[in-house]
Structure 1
Amino acid sequence: MKFSEFNFHENILESIAASGYEDATPVQEQVMPIIMAGKDVIASAQTGTGKTAAFLLPLLNNLLTGESNDHHISALIIVPTRELAIQISTHLDGLTYFTSLSSIAVYGGGDGQNFVQEKQALSKGADIVVSTPGKLIAHINMGYVKLKQLQYLVLDEADRMLDMGFHDDIMRIISNLPEKRQTLLFSATMPPKIRTLAQKILKNPEEINIAISKPPEKINQQAFIIYEPQKIPLVKHLLKDSPFKSILIFCSKKQNVKQLTRDLKRAGFNAEEIHSDLEQLQREEVLRSFANKRLPILVATDILSRGIDIDHIELVINFDVPHDGEDYVHRIGRTARAETDGTAYTFVTEKEQRRLAMIERLIGREVPKASVPPELGPVPSYNPGGSGGHGGKKKKFFHKKRKAGQ
């Protein structure tokens, strides 16, 4: 379906055309008409499906065609991380270029000037505010945030916010909002705690379910079974003469991010790191360089596993196996976005084998085991059953699933 068929305001269509977009994704096709009709929505959509535009475009359209108060906040988008707040704000800048709508991102880690700008927007009014929960609570506690005439509330990556312990902050924010509003809840997964939250804050919502906890089929997934000391040498081997021009490497620990980045730089690779120890301005500059293709290799903690809106990532390397299957899906979902293919490598030590087996059960398929270069030395056998067990249990599981036609 073409964007031109949605009856958007002419200024929105102009922004869409300038961005080079023509066809809506499935989640956009299903969600946008419901939002434009004024209904509450609870939606799950797999990463890379165009979810952000699915709520931004109808939101902007409704603000342009409806009534608004210049001295109040009209729409509030709550997100789990400052990186996602910045990305949505950047997306908004492009989509509102041909309009007079105002927006601001509110998040921690900024300087005094940022605080002054945030206070001015929150006290004098803005069309759209994108904020992390904790930072918005800090402003609300000072008594000047104009939320009483809010028309639209969006919770993006709601499952991630609950995982990060933001439930009470979210409910505190909502207690300051008018009951008469349109609420949109987006979540990559739909665990019971999301259902409970939805029952509290949504009114007769339309439910859209496009995502399941499986990565796109077009991602070439491979696992390397190795010992811990072989991880950095294997990264260097894979990156040497690599055809991939945009590479994102995930580590579960900050010290791994720092060590790997140091070793890659010493080996002559153009790589940078991003984690919570960096100043906010440093993190933004690194992410900007990666997004603009000036930086080919980015080493990151899970702070970027969700929400990063970069379409050109060709290879994702899991330096450490994620702690749960959902994180695995989100990590490798950073590649193969839009219409592109992608590749995902996962390094698996003896201690991480059981974790990989659990991930394979979640995604309903076995991740092919790749050959480790012989020059790296002997490697462990794949034995996810643990002490005294063997890999046959896992194979039997997949055989049963195929036999049952699942």
Structure 2
Amino acid sequence: MKRSRDVTIEEDVEFDALISNKDLLKGVKASGYERPSPIQLKAIPLGRLGVDLIAQAKSGTGKTVVFGSIALEGIDLSVLDPQVLIVAPTREIAVQITEVLRVLGAYMPKFQCQVFIGGLSVRSDAGKLSRCHVAVGTPGRIMALIQQNKLRMSKIKLAVLDEADKMIGGDFYAQTKYILDKLPAQKQVIAFSATFDDALYDLLSKYMNNPQKVVLTTDAPVLEGVQQYNVPVTIDEVDSALLQIHLYEQKFKAAVDLLEKIPFYQCIVFLNHRGRAVDLTQFLNTNGWKSCHISSGISQQQRLEVMQKARKFRIRVLICSDLIARGIDIDRVNLVINLDFPKDVETYLHRVGRTGRFGNRLTYCTPSLAHFSHILYS
């Protein structure tokens, strides 16, 4: 399959040159990776040296394999205590990382990777920690386990911050700081994100020892191979109290029109309001498009079930808020619709990155149903 330039390399290098553990190498190849992407080629050797690492990786370029390979190369399988801690901003990303690492480590005897997230039983966490080499979790649950003395940090030799801009520069900063402060003095820290700025570099450097930077481009980090379109939606003049209702009615109809006209395998539709996600799901199902929605408004078990349905191709359309705008891989997604404009450029980048994963060059379109009411009714 032809792939875009941001995940292909000119060097004649295979994973055998980057990974020494033969069992891990089997897992990498079983996962479908044949040759490393640029971020994998640059970052895996540095990470294996044990240096602290700050890496900018575009969404969908294989960064989980980078820190997964570094983590699995360094663990001692005879020690059943957490030796690697990976922290991610959402439950869905944490679950996905766990699944990827379990596949990578499938040929490593007795390898154990466990996930610790909110919405699931705290009672079972102690048992999972007693048979765990790699702990993956969200900041709130990891912090709680440390405070309850259930997660022992003394054996941690590698800490990974996925989506570091969100972890350090956003609402999770206090929790992330607490976790980093509890790490042993001697450890390796790796931070990954699609977007970094000088302020974030400076903040991260406080928790790292002379970190090495892997930045493959100084341009705006936009995923290659993704075609992006803007589709205006207009409505007739109505009473201002009914404006939003009529606007969303037209957007829903426009979304169905796009689904009928654009060839696609699976689609993700992003909205800014989770209540509208429920309405759109019902509308699409009524119009023959098998759909589910995911948001923080449903239980964690329901969220896991929806993601499983999406990954097993049991639904064609997934409707969501920005809960899964970051980091989530669903292989067949090759159409993204932004029903609402995202709140910032970074969020748009992450939304768009749900398609074109690892540079796949299928037919990628990201129509944005533009909100022009402020022009029509100014």
The yes-or-no answer on 1:37 pairing with 2:66 is no
Question: CA shift at 1:191, angstroms?
Answer: 2.5
| Local SS of the residue matching 2:252 | helix
Q: 1:194 aligns with which of 178, 200, 207?
A: 200
Aligned counterpart, 1:139: 145
Deviation at 1:343, TM superposition (A): 1.0
Deviation at 1:164, TM superposition (A): 4.2
In the alignment, the residues of structure 1 paired with residue 216 and residue 320 of structure 2 have an alpha-carbon distance, to the nearest angstrom, of 28
- Alignment partner, residue 330 of structure 2: 310
Contact 1:148–1:176, Cα closer than 8 Å, also in 2: no
Task: Please show how residues 287-326 of structure 1 align to structure 2 within 5 Å.
Answer: 287-326=307-346
Q: Is residue 93 from structure 1 mapped to residue 105 from structure 2 by the alignment?
A: no
Q: 1:87-133, CA deviations, whole angstroms, 9 ceiling, x for partnerless residues?
A: 000001101111122110000011x3xx23311233x3621000111
In structure 2, which of residues 12, 18, 23 is the aligned counterpart of residue 6 of structure 1?
18
Alignment-derived partner of residue 394 in structure 1: none
Contact 2:87/2:138 (8 A) holds in 1: yes
Counterpart mapping for 1:5-404 below 5 A:
5-63=17-75, 67=76, 70-99=79-108, 100-110=110-120, 112=121, 115-122=122-129, 124=130, 126-162=132-168, 164-210=170-216, 212-227=219-234, 228=247, 229-240=249-260, 242-341=262-361, 342-350=364-372
Contact 1:82 1:107 in 2 (8 A): yes
Distance 2:285 2:19 in 1: 51
| Displacement after TM superposition at 1:344 (Å) | 0.5
Deviation at 1:348, TM superposition (A): 0.8
Rg bigger for which structure? 1
Q: What SS is found at the alignment partner of 2:206?
A: helix
Q: Name the CA distance, whole Å, in 1 between partners of 2:137 and 2:148.
A: 16
Task: Output the aligned Cα RMSD.
Answer: 1.9
How much does 1:282 deviate? Answer: 1.1
Report if aligned partners of 1:104, 1:129 keep a CA contact under 8 Å in 2.
Answer: yes
> Which stretch of structure 1 is more off in the superposition, 80-89 or 257-266?
257-266
Cα deviation, residue 68, structure 1:
6.7
For 2:372 and 2:281, how far apart are their aligned partners in 1?
A: 24
3-state SS of paired residue (1:225) = strand
Check the 8 A contact 2:266/2:332 in 1, yes or no.
yes
Q: Secondary structure at the match of 1:46?
A: coil
SS of the residue aligned with 1:185?
Answer: strand
In the alignment, the residues of structure 2 paired with residue 217 and residue 21 of structure 1 have an alpha-carbon distance, to the nearest angstrom, of 19
- Give the secondary structure class of the aligned counterpart of 1:240: helix
1:274-305 deviation line (CA, Å, top 9, x unaligned): 11111111111111111122211111110111
Measured after TM superposition, the shift of residue 43 of structure 1 is 0.7
Tell me, in whole angstroms, the C-alpha distance in 2 between the residues paired with 1:298 and 1:314.
12
Deviation at 1:242, TM superposition (A): 4.0
Q: If the length of structure 1 is used for normalisation, what is the TM-score?
A: 0.82
Decide which moves more: 42-51 or 196-205.
196-205
Instruction: Give 1:368's aligned residue.
Output: none
SS in 2 for 1:321: coil
| TM score, norm. by length of structure 2 | 0.88
| Alpha-carbon distance between aligned partners in 1 of 2:102 and 2:19, rounded to the nearest angstrom | 21
2:47 aligned counterpart, secondary structure: helix
Map Cα deviations across residues 24-73 of structure 1 (whole Å, 9 max, x no partner). Answer: 0000000000011111100111101101101111221122xxx5772532
Give unpaired runs (5+ residues) of structure 1.
Answer: 354-379, 381-385, 388-406
- Residue 308 of structure 1: how far off its partner (Å): 0.3
Q: CA deviation at 1:17?
A: 2.4
Within 2, Cα distance between the matches of 1:271 and 1:320? Answer: 18
Distance 1:267 1:13 in 2: 46
- In the aligned structure 1, how far is the partner of 2:307 from the partner of 2:277? 15
Q: CA deviation at 1:215?
A: 2.2
For residues 343 and 224 of structure 1, the distance between their equivalents in structure 2, rounded to whole angstroms, comes to 11
Structure 2 unaligned regions, length at least 5: 1-12, 235-246
Residue 51 of structure 2: SS of its match in structure 1?
Answer: coil
The secondary structure found in structure 1 opposite 2:230 is strand
Aligned positions, number? 349
